[in-house]
Every structure is written in C-alpha cells, then in structure tokens.
C-alpha cells in the first residue's frame, strides 16, 4: 500500500530529481567507459543492490556488516576513483564556452556535431610523414576541457592547422619542436608546451617521455593525443590514458573523428 501511496504522491519535483540522477549516471558512465574503472563501478552498483536486498529482507547481521562498509563508502569512492573524480570536476570547471555550441553539446544526446574532416586528415598525414622520417612529435587535441592552463608553459600561437605547418614545427632543427603542441578548433593554440608526465603506469621501456606525457594529459583531461616515436616512427593514439599503435592511416582518421564527435 505504501508503494501505491508513493506513486500517487509523484510530482514534478520527483521527475526533475530522476532526470538529474539519470544525467549524472550517464556522464559518470561516459567518463569511465572503456577504462578499468567501469568494472569497479559495476561492482559497486551490484554491492549496493545486494545491500538493499538484504535490508528489505531484514537480515540484520548481514545488513549491519554491509552497512559498515557503506558508511565509509564515500571515502573508498574518493580513493578508488580519484583520477576520474578529478577529470569530472575539471570537465565541469573548465567548460570552453568560447567554442560554438560546446556547452550545449554536453547535454545533447541526439544531435551530432560535424568535425572538420580535412583537419583530422591533415594531422594524421603529417604524423605519417613524420613517422616515415622518424621525426618525434607530440600533438594534443583539445575537446571539452579547456587547456589554456597549459598554454602558459609554452609559446602562445594562433596558427591554422595544415600538414606543412605541423611538419615544420616538429622538424628537428626547428626551435619549436621540443614539447607538445595544443590544437583547438582547427587552430594551433601553443607550441613547446610542457605536459604533466605519468610516472605510475607501467609501459614498455621503449616508450619514453612523449608517451608518458600523452598518457598524463589524457588521464587528467578529456583531450586526445598523438605521439610519433623518434626511435621507431610508430604513431600512438592516446585517449583516457590508454594508447594504441596504429599502422593504418584511415583507421586512425576514423577513430579520431569518432572520438571528437
């Protein structure tokens, strides 16, 4: 009978409450999708549902034990999901309102936004060309998180992205080739940028500071990164702290376009 009474008392505020919870869960899932944290997230959900079941069945001893874990759950969540929480707060706090439609884009589940295909192709083709000559490069592509806090570590630029420009920046005799470049909305925002380096993740010894820097920035923000190895010429694509080596140019272009949209 209590359930029916609750249904009868269902009002507009309850609808808003449920909608906001749905939005929050969606973005939490979107943030940790494709990472190890997604398995932990599902484990916590299952644990919580089991706790509710035990509580409803009035199994007091088991309920008290599980309740003890639940009482310190918020601390455990902060410890386990520290990188994801940091990234989520950064996503909220560094919304790039200067990009047309970037704010509304976060809350739009239906409409898709077209990216400039030629820009993606120019970036990948430049990486392929640099890979063939074993020219090291580190390219960061800004998405929703504003990376202006990194621009001041390098040289502020406002250059339209083209293949020749990218190749000239990373040419070994160029004064701009050290560090990373940041690309935002078809513009090179900065060169010689110093990125936070990841020292925790175990990666093969053949991968150096460029890969660690790419992992670090994509863990702390939602940016994408491309790394051209100076030793092997291989192109690594980094997203959410995970990198994949691509040998097929078209596959890489499609992957970047998919992640940007």
Name the residue ranges covered by the structural domains of the chain.
Answer: 2-93, 117-260
Domain 117-260: which CATH number of 3.10.20.740, 3.40.50.300, 3.10.180.10, 3.40.1700.10? 3.40.1700.10
Is the pLDDT score of 8 beyond 70?
no
Mean pLDDT of the 222-231 span: 90
- Is the pTM value of this prediction over 0.85? no
Q: Which residues pair with 188 in a beta bridge?
A: 159, 183
Report whether 99 contacts 115 (CB < 8 A): no
Of the pLDDT bands very low, low, confident and very high (cuts 50, 70, 90), residue 183 is very high
pLDDT at 34: 55
As a whole number of Å, the end-to-end CA separation of the chain is 48
Is the pLDDT score of 41 beyond 90?
no
Question: Regarding beta strands 155-160 and 242-246, do their DSSP bridges make them parallel or antiparallel, or are they unpaired?
Answer: unpaired
Mean pLDDT of the 213-231 span: 88
d(CA 152, CA 179): 13
Buried/exposed 64-83: b ≥16 CB within 10 Å, e otherwise: eebeeeeeeeeeeeeeebeb
Report whether 136 contacts 170 (CB < 8 A): yes
Is the pLDDT score of 102 beyond 50?
no
- Both tokens assigned to 254: 């499609």
pLDDT per residue over 135-180, tens digit each? 999 999 998 878 888 888 888 888 999 999 999 999 888 888 888 9
* Percent of the chain predicted with pLDDT > 90: 22
pLDDT at 88: 65
Q: Average pLDDT, whole number, for the chain?
A: 78
d(CA 206, CA 209): 10
pLDDT at 109: 40
């Amino acid at each position: 009978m209590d359930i029916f009474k609750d249904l009868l008392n269902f009002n507009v505020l309850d609808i808003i409450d449920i909608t906001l919870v749905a939005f929050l869960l969606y973005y939490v899932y979107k943030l940790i999708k494709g990472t190890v944290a997604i398995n932990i997230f599902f484990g916590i959900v299952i644990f919580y549902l089991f706790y509710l079941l035990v509580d409803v069945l009035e199994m007091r001893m088991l309920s008290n034990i599980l309740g003890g874990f639940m009482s310190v759950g918020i601390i455990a969540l902060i410890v386990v999901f520290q990188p994801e929480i940091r990234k989520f707060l950064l996503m909220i706090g560094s919304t790039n309102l200067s990009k047309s439609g970037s704010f509304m884009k976060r809350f739009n589940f239906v409409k898709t936004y077209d990216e400039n295909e030629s820009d993606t192709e120019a970036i990948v083709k430049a990486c392929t060309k640099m890979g063939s000559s074993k020219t090291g490069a580190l390219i960061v592509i800004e998405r929703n998180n504003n990376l202006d806090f990194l621009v001041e570590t390098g040289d502020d630029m406002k250059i339209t992205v083209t293949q020749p420009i990218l190749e000239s920046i990373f040419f070994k005799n160029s004064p701009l080739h050290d560090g990373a470049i940041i690309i935002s909305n078809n513009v090179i925002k900065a060169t010689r940028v110093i990125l936070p380096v990841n020292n925790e993740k175990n990666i093969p010894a053949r991968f150096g500071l460029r890969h660690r820097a790419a992992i670090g920035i994509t863990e702390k923000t939602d940016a994408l990164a491309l790394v051209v190895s100076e030793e092997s010429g291989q192109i690594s694509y980094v997203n959410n702290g995970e990198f994949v080596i691509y040998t097929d140019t078209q596959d890489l272009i499609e992957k970047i376009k998919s992640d940007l949209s």
